[in-house]
Amino acid sequence: MKQRPFALLTLFCFATAAWGETMQVRHDHDPWGKCEGELIIGQEGIEYRSPKKTGHNRKWIWQDIQSVDRKSSSRLSVLTYEDQKLRLGQDKVYDFELMSSAQTFSDETLALISGKLKKPVTDRVTNPIDAEYQIPAKHKHTIGGCEGTLYFSPEFIVYDSEDPSNSRKWKKDRDVANIWSSQRYELEIRTYEENRRNFDKMRVFRFQLKEPLDQAYYERLRRELP
């Protein structure tokens, strides 16, 4: 009986140490070229190993990662604090694409990354959610826009766009700073998504609504947000 706590502790430590995912990926160089290797997501951080391009090997502990962007179920970007001298000190992004359709950057993988990172992430994969309210909308870009639907659930806000690169899935208590509507056919969602054009590190998504916004639901949503 006295050995049981020790056995449980040993089992817990082993399980914690063993957690990790290794994926075969292509690293997309900027501005040209690619190399192949392994992307390792583990307890301490994220590592990229290329057997042929060892000069491209990188290892980031969690505190050295600004954000992670799941661009699709097969593409992931890591935003670091590294300066790019040729781009006036702009922070460097590393882009990775899975080589096998048998692997995916799943919801579970992103949740583990988010938990370790302890920062907001960008998620463009809009898997269906159990929506309690939805409204068709147009996302206004700097020039033009894209059309889609906004979905709201107790945990998430989702914009499902006709253009997948503009789709977003925001976790309310992690990714959303606040929302604002000056009139019932407009809605702004202010997020913690990395905005590389703005030093305040925020991004505002502005929507034209195709139907009038339900005022009671809007007021409730504002009260629920942190």
Q: What is the CATH number for 170?
A: 2.30.29.30
178 - beta bridge partners?
Answer: 190
Can you give the residue range of the structural domain that contains 179? 133-224
Q: Which of 51, 85, 120 is the last residue of a domain?
A: 120
169 - beta bridge partners?
Answer: 158
Same domain, 188 and 104: no
Cβ contact 159:153 at 8 Å: no
Which pLDDT does position 201 carry in this prediction? 64
Separation between Cα atoms, residue 135 and residue 187, nearest integer Å? 11
Which pLDDT does position 176 carry in this prediction? 95
Indicate the residue type of 164. Answer: P
Q: Which of 63, 86, 120 is the last residue of a domain?
A: 120
pTM: 0.81
Which pLDDT does position 53 carry in this prediction? 79
Of the CA atoms within 13 Å of residue 24, those in its CB half-sphere come to 5
Of 191, 193, 185, 170, which Cα lies nearest the Cα of 136? Answer: 185
Work out the mean pLDDT of the chain and round it to a whole number.
Answer: 87
Q: Looking at residue 206, what DSSP letter applies?
A: E
Which pLDDT does position 5 carry in this prediction? 45
The tokens of 180 are what?
A: 């604002």
Residue-wise pLDDT for 60-77, tens only, equals 999 999 999 999 999 999
Same domain, 196 and 92: no
Q: Which of 67, 96, 120 is the last residue of a domain?
A: 120
The answer as to whether 188 is a domain residue is: yes
Q: Count of residues for the chain?
A: 226
Q: How many domains does the structure of the chain reveal?
A: 2
Which pLDDT does position 33 carry in this prediction? 80
The pLDDT > 90 percentage for the chain reads: 67
Q: What angle do CA 140, 177, 150 make, to 5 degrees?
A: 45
Of 201, 190, 187, 197, which Cα lies nearest the Cα of 148? Answer: 187
Give the residue ranges of the chain where pLDDT is below 70: 1-19, 31, 84-89, 195-201
Separation between Cα atoms, residue 106 and residue 125, nearest integer Å? 9
Which pLDDT does position 6 carry in this prediction? 39
Cβ contact 169:127 at 8 Å: yes
Of the CA atoms within 13 Å of residue 130, those in its CB half-sphere come to 2
Please report which helix (H) or strand (E) contains residue 24, including its range.
Answer: strand 20-28
